[in-house]
Amino acid sequence: MKSLLENWNNFLTEQKSFTDKEKIALVIFGEARGESNAGKRAVLHVAMNRAKHEGKSVLEVMQEPGQFSILNDNTFADIYKEAQSGDIPKKKYAESLEIVSNPGKDITGGSTHYLTTELYYGKRKWWADYDKNICWVPMIEIGKHVFGIETGTYPPPDGLKCVYSIEKGKRKYNMSTVPARHDFGQHPKLP
């Protein structure tokens, strides 16, 4: 009997059509389920900032290939199944839905990208394949993510300082601008 019920639930989930609001909330849930409310809001603001800059919708930005990694190997139905897998995931998904309805003030300083702290602090190398000039300007660290502005120009505009840049395919650290780890609210906001 249990197997029949599970099959029915799986069928319903796979057949469910999602609204744009639900899709955005699923991406927030998938990207930041273990983060605080502020961390979830920051993920949404990154997508909102980028959408504004690129003249696209938030959902279009989130669905661009390779941008929000939860969508690399998962469908919305896959994420929804996980969001419905217990009381805690259901609560976190409900929080994500609320955040989409009420994003609040942007605490990311206009960030258009974010990295996990593991990537940011160099435990994994992810930028080695870039073939264009890139500059990463950190704005704030929240939980296990560092939010910042990634520009396609080096040096960056408006006097911002790069932590690293990619110049002609080679990574260059600007060590004098690499901030130490700080708690939320203490990360340096660069001019």
Counting the structural domains of the chain, the total is: 2
Together in a domain, 134 and 69: no
Q: Domain of 170?
A: 113-177
Q: Cα–Cα distances in Å, from 145 out to 3, 31, 81, 113, 148?
A: 39, 10, 25, 10, 10
- The structure's pTM equals 0.76
pLDDT of 58: 97
Together in a domain, 68 and 135: no
| Residue 185 in this model has a pLDDT that exceeds 50 | no
Residue 153 lies in a domain: yes
| Residue 14 in this model has a pLDDT that exceeds 60 | no
- According to DSSP, the β-strands at 164-167 and 113-116 are unpaired
Together in a domain, 125 and 145: yes
121 token code pair = 């602090």
Last residue within a domain, chosen from 55, 81, 101 = 101
Is residue 108 a contact partner of residue 42, using CB atoms and an 8 Å limit? Answer: yes
pLDDT of 163: 61
Together in a domain, 77 and 136: no
